[in-house]
Amino acid sequence: MILDAARGALASGPLCDPCLGRLVADRSFGLTNEGRGSALRTAVALADDESFEAGPEDDCWVCEGQCSRYDTWADRAVDALGDVDFATYQVGTRAPPLIEENDSLLRVEAGLPEDAGEPFKSEYNREVGKRLGMRTGTDVDFERPDVLCLLEIERETVDVQVNPAFVYGRYRKLERDVSQTEWPCSACGGTGKELAPKSEGGGERPCTECGGSGYRYDHSVETSIAPAAREAMDGSEALFHGAGREDVDAKMLGTGRPFVVEVKHPRVRRVDLADLEAAIDDRTDRVEVEGLRLATHAMVERVKELDASKTYRLGVRFADPVRRADLEAACEALVGETISQRTPRRVDHRRADLVRTREAYAVCGTLGEDEREGSDEPEAGKRATIEVHGAGGLYVKELAHGDDGRTEPSLADLLGTAVEVETLDVLAVTGEAEPFERAEYFLDHGTEN
């Protein structure tokens, strides 16, 4: 019986209404635990025909008066958050061991199972959280909030954890020899320094491989985008996540490649995305971005695991003149075939030696108009532009030149002549199975686009 449990709890010592009501927190939705406790106290007095005595606030043996301090802790949380910009929050509580022990003993005194009702910490999270939300005009989020306020009851402090913010977009890389991410120099390990030989006096000097920069390439997509996002959000660090990567010597054109920048400890979240886009574009002529949107953490995994088809444009040179009709036939023969590719020689030092199968969805070739070298035929030439739309993971350079038989079939095998890839541009990166940029992966915090 509920009243029997209430009698046992009240007989255990001075007990506040929230602690009493917490024993039956799963009863009668719409009441607070304080309301349940007051109702139980009244019901026991009526049933036993005893004088009614209100519950104490500060002299409770279970919570030691903490249940009367919800507003105090909410104010502390607001102060601890300071000028941090956030739209969602969560509250956690670290209770003193004595209060947690008392909370368990109360159930014993009431003759209830140890898991009856609601734990002290759960009630504290909810009651302080409701007040924090009202004070800041923000919403609770139990999955991945912008900020987490941890109430340290014993220490009388609030620790604030600011979770990362995420900006999604697409980038175009307009020049070659620009890496996607920072690429530390392998000779100096990214330090930018090396030891001079004794014949030159010894000591440290700038690395002769990288010129002292510490990087293999002077420019990267990451350093063009990530610092601007970090500055706009006043964060401590920014991490760049791309949906795959193009070769360093390839351009990324067309619709661009999806990316997400993860900004750690941001103090500003609701940035003007048009201003951020302009700031990124102003940093360099090598990289430009578009379609910036605030994203959720789930977008990081979606970008990193994107099973994307890609469209490429290759500028190729043939060892022997190739007739237009033969080029068209070879391109057509590649479409719909199972392309078997052993890990290319150019990447086998960093990737497992495997045989993968991929598909080319569309292949078309156009002979160069200004080159008829070595051929008297007007419909033949040694240079061509090849466009390939292929499945994710298709090694398109090897599809052209064959990689000494490691890719079969290849354009070189079908034409019977060696093929050299002179230039490579990526024109499109698109999700294979479904629309990639789905609304649930983005936030709407009233940002300007």
Catalytic residue of the set 141, 247, 272, 413: 247
Q: How far is CA 293 from CA 404, 437, 443, in A?
A: 44, 10, 8
352 HSE (CA, 13 A, CB side): 3
- 76-98 as b/e, with b when 16 or more CB fall inside 10 Å? bbeebbeebbbbbbbbbbebbee
* Order of all β-strands in the sheet with 88-94: 139-140, 88-94, 147-152, 157-162
CA 62 to chain CA centroid, Å, is 43
Backbone φ and ψ of 111, nearest 5°: 70, 30
Q: 357 — alpha (psi -120 to 50), left (phi > 0) or beta?
A: beta
205 HSE (CA, 13 A, CB side): 10
DSSP percent split of the chain into helix, strand, coil, nearest 5: 30, 30, 40
Would you state the structure tokens that stand for residue 427, as one six-digit string? 């024109």
Residue 218 designated active-site: no
Q: How far is CA 277 from CA 219, 225, 258, 273, 333, in A?
A: 19, 9, 14, 6, 43
**How many CB atoms are closer than 10 A to CB 367?**
21
As annotated, the active-site residues are: 247
